[in-house]
Amino acid sequence: MDSPFKDANHIFRDKEPFKEGYTPDEILEREEEIQEYAAALQDIPDGFGAPNVFIYGQTGVGKTATTQKVIEFLESEAESADVKLTTLAVNCNKRTSTYKVLQYLANELYPDEHFKQGTHPDTLWNRIYERLDEISGYVLVILDEIDKLGEDEELLYDFPRAKAIGELENAEVGIVGISNNFKFRENLSQRVKSTLCEKEIQFSPYDAHELRSILSYYADLTFHDGVVTGDVVPLTAALTAQDSGDARMALDLLETAGDIARHEDDDVVTEDHVRIARSEVDRANTRDIITERLTSQMQLVLMATTLLVIDPDGEAKVKTIYLYKDLCDRIDADTLSESRIRDHLDTLEMFGLLEKGEHNLGRRGGRAYIYSLVDEPRIVVETFQEDERLRQGFPASIDALLGAFEASNQSHIQSEFEG
Ligand SMILES: Nc1ncnc2c1ncn2[C@@H]1O[C@H](COP(=O)(O)OP(=O)(O)OP(=O)(O)O)[C@@H](O)[C@H]1O
């Protein structure tokens, strides 16, 4: 058999910049935020203190990448100004409590020792303070995904006050908290909010113009010259801007379009590759949400809604609830109350799987909520068909129904739930 692998890659020159954790040399389209960020931290090189800063914005809008760049500048400014500065970066995604962050910091500050799980928290605090006093100067603790600490505020309360209350003599701690969870800030207690959110910087989603410039920069680094045809970057930027304004998502789409061109042995990447990539990425996202994030009852409610969407007789005659009960009977699952089903429909909407519209019931009075699927029904049906138990819930004619639906391309409103 001949080797199944392709010859030399004529599409990509380097894929490193697409990887998670890659630090770009340049941060584009964030000039204003960088200026604000620098102003918020100016007290450090000026020698006036270590401030606390809170950075927030949706996922993929450059909060982490911009922070890395600003910290690089800050470190070099501090050095030129002869100001002692230590920066400690912690990702709270993996360290979700004050204790875990302290354990991590202690291990970073004492590379020759190992602080095991179970070390008394007072020991961790004392050793950390001891070391920071030895190092002396300003200490900036950068807590990425700070919202993962949840309601555990001990660290956020104690650390910035350590000098004021005499725990530290020669060092002063400032915190940079980064979050994509908008509720986190609101839920902070007043005493922590007033310190941590002393200075706040918001990062907005990127618009199409900004994404174009970011994508062009990455395309130059990752693709061979002349491979990316004219409309690819603007289309990728426009599709992502309409959806989320998330640079990570845009880069993922561009890479997937390149992968498809490579796989198909095409010489160049075109708009068509981007469109195919878009449907592949959507498919993968939908699958992840359905299989990883929905409870089995939410899956059943989604299944019922999907069946109504593809069943030509389903429109406005049958309600989600009856179909849902029927599905539960078929796969022998418990049935929820109508109000819980309603909650689940709202959750499915929040996950971006369903869209809710409203219509008046005319002479009958009242309103009805109309749910439609955001994705192609086939993506949802195929995901359910991969699950042995859920597959039983579909009627034997599901493939024929789906085929007929696609042929007639009925994608309008289908499921009714009276409000
Ligand atoms: N303005 C930019 N210039 C260059 N690269 C960028 C820019 N914004 C984002 N990126 C790149 O996009 C990806 C996602 O950015 P980043 O991780 O900084 O987003 P984030 O806002 O911190 O997201 P999350 O909240 O999910 O952590 C990274 O690869 C990053 O290098």
| Domain co-membership, 133 together with 279 | no
Summarize the annotated binding site for ATP as residue ranges: 61-65, 206
Q: Is 61 in the pocket of ligand 1 (CB under 6 A)?
A: yes
Task: State whether the beta carbon of 63 lies less than 6 angstroms from ligand 1.
Answer: yes
Residue 25 C-alpha from the chain's centroid: 23
Is the distance from CB of 45 to CB of 75 less than 8 angstroms? no
Query: CA–CA separation, 156 vs 98, rounded Å?
Result: 8
> Could you give the count of Cα atoms lying within 13 Å of 313 in the half-sphere of its Cβ?
2
Domain identity same for 66 and 210: no
Q: What is the ipTM of this complex?
A: 0.99
Does some domain include residue 13? no
One digit per residue, the tens of pLDDT, for the chain of length 419 reads 888 877 778 999 999 999 998 999 999 999 999 999 999 999 999 999 999 999 999 999 999 999 999 999 999 999 999 999 999 999 999 899 999 999 999 999 999 999 999 999 999 999 999 999 999 999 999 999 999 998 899 999 999 999 999 999 999 999 999 999 888 888 889 989 888 888 999 999 999 999 999 999 999 999 999 999 999 999 999 999 998 899 999 999 999 999 999 999 999 999 999 999 998 888 888 899 999 989 989 999 999 889 888 876 655 445 677 778 888 888 888 888 888 888 898 899 988 898 888 766 666 666 677 788 888 888 899 999 988 888 888 888 888 989 888 887 644 445 555 54
Residue 212 Cβ inside 6 Å of ligand 1? The answer reads no
Same domain as 300, residue 382: yes
Give the chain's radius of gyration (CA, Å): 27
* Domain assignment present for 384: yes
Judge whether 14 lies within some domain.
Answer: no
The verdict on 44 and 175 lying in the same domain is yes
Does 45 share its domain with 192?
Answer: yes
Pocket test for ligand 1, best of 31, 176, 214 (most atoms within 8 A of CB): 214
Rounded Cα distance between 93 and 331, Å, is: 37
Give the type of residue at 415.
Answer: S
Q: What is the pTM of this model?
A: 0.81
Which of 30, 31, 64, 202, when mutated, tests ligand 1's pocket best, judged by the most ligand atoms within 8 Å of its CB?
64
Encoding tokens for residue 384? 């359910």
Nearest to 66 by CA among 176, 226, 216, 198: 176
Both 191 and 216 in one domain: the answer is no
Q: Do both 45 and 174 map to the same domain?
A: yes
Residue closest to 387 by CA, chosen among 344, 320, 331 = 331
34 within ligand 1 shell (Cβ under 6 A): no
Q: Which domain holds residue 350?
A: 294-418
